């Protein structure tokens, strides 16, 4: 079974493909597939705008939408056409996941024309890696798989993206606000940052929590990042204040997101405590701050806060807390909730956690 590609590796491949396109190095087949659509759209648009000049596109570039195709043989026939007035024939298949049988394109990819570039934009899912289409594209062209990032992969990518494309850094709190509120939808995140940069003062070098609050509309005082901070330091009144705000805005603060955030946070504390136990009891070498930060997938600059919280929550308590979070996550999904609203469930969960 083929191993799933990691988001970090996929982004590295994306940058490599972009470099080749800008240098005019084009493959005869591009199979662009996966759950995360932003990079697929970006590569498709770049190929559409780069391979041919604007005047050539009118004659030699064809865009086909998978949902409009009844017979994949039409795409095969177009791809086999000779370009007018020399040059390249470019056939772009958007929404390829909507084709009735994308595998039928293997009738062309088995022997692709040297004068054609076929782009298959298969967003939403992957092509079967055992199929002839996948094997042909791998051997004779470019296959790019775009997975959705995990939560812990997103923040480092955003920071890298902003440095590379905007020449701008972002504060840790601002970064946490964005990832907490916008989830893992790269298109949505990029779109929000594009809008943000039209509103920021010229020459801005660091994006702050105030910038995010004022321009994207995410509260810097009432969000999951602030809730975790309150729980981490056992600031009961502050945690209840945030929970009350969440209860008044349930659409912006669904319980499932909050429980997921809390669960991930306490898992990190558990790992810190476990590594310390291994050192004290098993005599294993103590992990350096760099090693520990990498292990729990956080920036070394914020590790101190995690280590401080871990002292307040020994693993005996964390076992119980993780069980509570699972229980209230299920209640938030309507299982044994007793009819309680999500805001009530969150307040009850927080009280139980902080009373341990």
| CA distances in angstroms from 12 to 5, 17, 25, 154, 213, listed in the order given | 11, 9, 17, 14, 31
Counting residues of the chain whose pLDDT is more than 70, the rounded percentage is: 99
Query: How confident is the model at residue 86, as a pLDDT?
Result: 73
List pLDDT tens digits, range 38-60.
Answer: 999 999 999 999 999 999 999 99
Does 3 have pLDDT greater than 80? no
DSSP 3-state of 5? coil
* Nearest CA-CA partner of 185 in 158, 207, 145, 216: 158
User: Is 90 exceeded by the pLDDT of residue 125?
Assistant: yes
In this prediction, residue 177 carries a pLDDT of 87
- What value does the mean pLDDT take over residues 121-135? 96
Name the residue with tokens 């330091």.
233
In the chain, % of residues over pLDDT 90: 78
Given a contact cutoff of 8 angstroms between Cβ atoms, the answer to whether 159 and 134 are in contact is no
Q: In the predicted model, what is the mean pLDDT of residues 286-292?
A: 92
55-67 pLDDT, tens digit each: 999 999 999 999 9
Average model confidence (pLDDT) across the chain: 93
The arithmetic mean of pLDDT across residues 143-148, rounded, is 95
* Token duo for residue 156: 């480092």
Q: What is the pLDDT of residue 1?
A: 41
Using 50, 70 and 90 to split pLDDT, how confident is the model at 251?
confident
Q: Which domains does the chain have, with CATH numbers?
A: 7-145 (3.40.50.300), 151-216 (1.10.8.60), 224-355 (1.20.272.10)
Mean of pLDDT values over 197-208: 92
Asked if residues 273 and 314 have their Cβ atoms less than 8 Å apart, the reply is yes
* Range list of H helices, 23-120: 37-50, 54-60, 73-80, 106-109
In this prediction, residues 180-193 reach a mean pLDDT of 88
pLDDT of residue 8: 86
pLDDT score at 6? 86
pLDDT at 347 > cutoff 90:
yes
Dihedral (Cα; 267, 271, 272, 277), 10-degree rounding: 130
pLDDT attached to residue 227: 94
Task: Based on DSSP, count helices (H) and strands (E) in the chain, helices before strands.
Answer: 17, 7
- 71, 44, 48: which is closest to 60 by C-alpha? 48
**Position 2 pLDDT exceeds 60:** no
Q: What mean pLDDT comes out for the span 321-338?
A: 94
Residue 252 pLDDT class (50, 70, 90 cuts): confident
Q: Which of 3-7, 45-49, 68-72, 231-235 has the lowest mean pLDDT?
A: 3-7
């Amino acid at each position: 079974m083929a191993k799933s590609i990691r988001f970090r590796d996929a982004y590295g491949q994306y940058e490599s493909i972009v470099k080749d396109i800008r240098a005019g190095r084009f493959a005869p087949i591009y199979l662009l597939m996966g759950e995360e659509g932003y990079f697929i759209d970006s590569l498709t648009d770049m190929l559409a705008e780069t391979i041919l000049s604007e005047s050539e596109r009118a004659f030699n570039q064809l865009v086909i939408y998978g949902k409009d195709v009844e017979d994949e043989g039409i795409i095969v026939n177009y791809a086999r056409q000779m370009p007018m007035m020399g040059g390249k024939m470019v056939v772009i298949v958007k929404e390829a996941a909507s084709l009735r049988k994308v595998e039928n394109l293997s009738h062309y990819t088995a022997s692709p024309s040297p004068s054609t570039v076929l782009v298959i934009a298969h967003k939403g899912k992957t092509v079967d890696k055992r199929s002839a289409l996948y094997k042909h594209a791998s051997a004779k062209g470019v296959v790019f798989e775009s997975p959705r990032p995990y939560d812990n992969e997103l923040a480092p990518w955003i920071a890298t993206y902003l440095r590379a494309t905007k020449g701008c850094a972002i504060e840790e709190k601002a970064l946490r606000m964005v990832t907490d509120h916008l989830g893992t939808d790269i298109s949505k995140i990029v779109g929000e940052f594009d809008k943000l940069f039209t509103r920021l003062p010229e020459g801005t070098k660091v994006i702050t929590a105030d910038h995010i609050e004022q321009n994207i509309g995410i509260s810097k005082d009432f969000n999951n990042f602030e809730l975790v901070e309150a729980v981490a330091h056992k600031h009961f009144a502050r945690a209840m204040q945030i929970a009350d705000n969440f209860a008044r805005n349930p659409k912006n603060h669904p319980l499932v997101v909050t429980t997921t955030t809390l669960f991930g946070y306490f898992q990190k504390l558990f790992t810190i405590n476990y590594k310390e136990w291994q050192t004290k009891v098993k005599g294993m070498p103590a992990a350096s701050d760099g090693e520990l930060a990498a292990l729990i997938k956080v920036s070394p600059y914020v590790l101190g806060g995690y280590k401080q919280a871990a002292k307040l929550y020994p693993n005996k308590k964390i076992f119980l807390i993780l069980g509570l979070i699972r229980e209230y996550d299920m209640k938030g999904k309507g299982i044994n909730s007793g009819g309680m609203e999500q805001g009530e469930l969150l307040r009850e969960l927080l009280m139980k956690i902080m009373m341990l």
